Chain A
Amino acid sequence: MNYTFKWSVLWTGESGQWLLSGLIVTLELSALAWLLAVALGVVSGAFRTVKFRPLRGLATFYVEFFRNVPLLVWMFFWYFAVPPVLPEMIREWMFGHGLEFWAAVCALGVYSGARFSEVLRSGIQSIPRTQMEAAVASGLTTFQAYRYVILPVALRIIIPPGTNESLNLLKNSSVALTISVAELTFQTRQIETYTAKAIEALTAGTLIYLVLCVGLASIMSWVERRTAIPGLITSGGRRRR
């Protein structure tokens, strides 16, 4: 092995600036995609538990189709295939405002939404039927029962698996480099291209991801303890992708 390490490439030149801007793009992309994913996940997860068949069918189609196809395919789909079929005006705006970034937000958000949906559905299904019956019996409409009784409990139950999915979303944002979004992995590659120091560049990128994931996981375990529902055996929810 005749590889000479030169760690100084990480703090000389523009490397630090690239890593920082990559980190910011990764966080922006993940945050926006997360909002989209949670919105889609909550709505479709709730739809999958209602009695009305067309809504359930629509939500099932969304979940089964979007989460069973690789994220990379969705990235290409939203970046290459969707813009040409959009109306002229929206397309113009998107080309002027970082098309690849918004395509990545859509791809990551819609894909992760389907995964959040499953998490929420199992959360709702773990709430005893009697809760819903009691809510309806006391005069709430179905919407009100979901809004005030079912969802507040379900959202607290699903914090552990939801955290897990959120971390997956953060890690999956790295796939956006394939449509040339300048996020963290992209910038790591850029440092490698300019300095030819692969190990140093990859170490820096890897450490940033590790710190982000471990940091978020510990914040969420604190939130989990704070919001735990008294009287329930919180199983902790095994982390799984």
Chain B
Amino acid sequence: MISGLDVIWRNLPFLMIQGFLGFGQFVGGTVRLAIPAIILGFLLGIFIGLGRLAPQRWIRIPATVYVEFFRGVPLVMVIFWMWFVVPILLKRAIPEFWVALIAFVIFEAAYLGEIVRAGVQSVARGQVEAATAVGLTSTQTMRHVVLPQALKNMIPSLVTQFIVLFKDTSLASIIGFMDLTKAAQVVNNREVRPFALYLFIAVVYWICTYSMSRYARHVEQRLSPA
């Protein structure tokens, strides 16, 4: 037990600064990958979600196929696709960071798109009619009336999905990205203390995801009427 704490204490800078935050001699970092992945995935998800509700069939059908395809395939598979195919398309090697980021954004946008769609559908129809009646264009209606209200309804599912994405970043270690999981693996290869090391990173992940879900509950309560 004591020697377990010791191995973590000695490797704490490597695990947390290199692995978790992503500063050091290797390209890595759980946080450094998770934050852009969440932001870009959400932006693409808005387009996919709105695309599924579009009246034009040439937008709606591709968006639906996109969502159904990526929800039927494991993320690990998508990561391998990006790993092998993007270099073939670009004719040069690209860093693991970009491979992982592209894979996460494309994959998670399918799930986030479904949340956006459900959120938009939860806004009362009268709101759209009222916005049209006061002379807003359909883009303005979406931008100023529907999306702000939809966003509020989406918050619980959205945060759940962000937590999933945060956990999924651990899969970037498969292609050699030096995130928290990979950092623990590297230390374990040298010191062979699997119990202490994997339990430690489990607790680090847990603290992050649990505080995200607590914060979401707090925001949800503040925004809900009554």
Contacts and interface: CB of A to CB of B under 8 A. Distances in A.
A199 B188 CA distance: 34
B206 A68 contact: yes
A175 interface: yes
Interface SS of chain A: helix, strand, loop or mixed?
helix
Interface string B197-212: 1110110011001100
Nearest to B172: A72
Contacts of A205: 77
B198 A209 contact: no
Contacts of B111: 240-241
Given A70-B170, A185-B80, A206-B77, A198 B72 contact: no
A203 to B, nearest CB: 9
Given A70-B181, A240-B114, A241-B161, A77 B202 contact: yes
Contacts of B161: 240-241
Contacts of A214: 72
Interface stretch (A79-87, A92-100, A126-134): A79-87
B195 A84 contact: yes
A174 B205 contact: no
B166 to A, nearest CB: 8
B209 A238 contact: no
Interface string A219-241: 00000000000000000001111
Contacts of B157: 240
Interface string A108-134: 000000000000000000000000000
A168 B213 CA distance: 21
A72 B194 contact: no
Given A84-B194, A174-B74, A70 B205 contact: yes
Interface string B133-172: 0000000000000000000000001001101100111110
B69 interface: yes
Given A185-B77, A209-B72, A241 B164 contact: yes
A3 interface: yes
B73 interface: yes
A81 B185 CA distance: 12
Contacts of B194: 76-77, 80-81, 84
Nearest to B91: A1
A240 B84 CA distance: 28
A76 B88 contact: no
Interface residues of A, number: 42
B89 interface: yes
A42 interface: no
Interface in A137-187: 171-175, 177-178, 185
Contacts of B209: 68-69
Contacts, number: 124
B134 to A, nearest CB: 32
Given A68-B209, A202-B81, A206-B77, A178 B174 contact: yes
Nearest to B166: A70
B72 A185 contact: no
B210 A73 contact: no
A76 B174 CA distance: 12
Nearest to B157: A240
Contact of B74 (A69, A172, A238, A239): A172
B205 A69 contact: yes
A72 B81 CA distance: 19
A72 B171 contact: yes
A69 B188 CA distance: 19
B170 A72 contact: yes
Nearest to A77: B198
A56 interface: no
Interface of B: 69, 71-77, 80-81, 84-85, 88-89, 91, 111, 114-115, 118, 157, 160-161, 163-164, 167-171, 173-174, 181, 184-185, 188, 194-195, 197-199, 201-202, 205-206, 209-210, 213
Interface of A: 1-3, 64-65, 68-74, 76-77, 80-81, 84-85, 171-175, 177-178, 185, 188-189, 192, 198-199, 202, 205-206, 209-210, 213-214, 238-241
For the complex of A and B, 5 pairs with smallest distance between CB atoms: A198-B84, A80-B194, A70-B170, A174-B74, A213-B72
6 contacts: A173-B74, A177-B76, A188-B80, A199-B88, A202-B80, A238-B118
